[in-house]
Amino acid sequence: MDHVDMHSDQEFRMLSEAVQAWYRYYELRPDEQASHVLCSAALEFFNEGYCTFDDVSTMLIGTYVGISATRVNAPTSKSVH
């Protein structure tokens, strides 16, 4: 069974808020490509055990430093660990 099926609306809301925190931290407007990368990364971090807003937003901010880090050749969280 896919992990995505087991997440609650509250967990998805927290992940969305963590992505929004990334945009606020870097003072950027939401971008479709960046949002796709950040949402995928947030879900991956959650599945790796980062289960709070603070944990996920900190991991996003530290892993994806600015908009350029969300582009095609950006590192995945697996390559950072």
What are the pLDDT tens digits along the chain (81 aa)? 344 445 689 999 999 999 999 999 999 999 999 999 999 999 999 999 999 999 999 999 999 999 999 986 655 555 554
In this structure, what are the phi and psi dihedrals at residue 21, rounded to the nearest 5 degrees?
A: -65, -35
**Is the alpha carbon torsion for 27, 32, 34, 35 positive or negative?**
positive
CA 14/CA 51 separation, integer angstroms: 9
pTM of the model: 0.79
Residues 58, 34: contact at Cβ < 8 Å? no
pLDDT at 8: 87
Give residue 63's pLDDT.
96
- Strand ranges in 1-81 using DSSP code E only, listed in sequence order: none
pLDDT at 1: 38
